[in-house]
Amino acid sequence: MSPRVLRVGEFIFWFHSYDALHEGRASIHVGKGTPDDVNDVKIWLEPEIEVAREGRTLRKHELRRVLRIIEQEYEYLLEAWYAYRGGGK
């Protein structure tokens, strides 16, 4: 299961269950419409905000906007990530 954690305009922000189980650092996927693991952007949330995979669903200007949204919602997203994983930092 890959829950949607935030929606801003047409952008959806979601966690991938595989990432939560197998990766040691927080990440978020971002796309439009419905989650699409193959084509959506993947962003590392730690140790700093960084594009892990650009994907194919967002244009460059949309990706820049998404990164600004992530910066604004950073604390919420990080808390939601650790709650989703089932524990604190």
Domain ranges of the chain: 4-85
Rounded-to-10 torsion of CA 59, 61, 67, 69: -110
pTM across the whole model:
0.90
State the residue for tokens 């140790």: 47
For residue 14, give the H/E element and its range.
strand 11-14
Q: What digits encode the pLDDT tens for the residues 53-73?
A: 999 999 999 999 999 999 999
Q: At residue 13, does pLDDT exceed 80?
A: yes
State the residue for tokens 């193959």: 38
User: Mapping DSSP to helix (H, G, I), strand (E, B) and coil, where does residue 12 land?
Assistant: strand
Closest by CA to 13, choosing from 58, 48, 61, is: 58
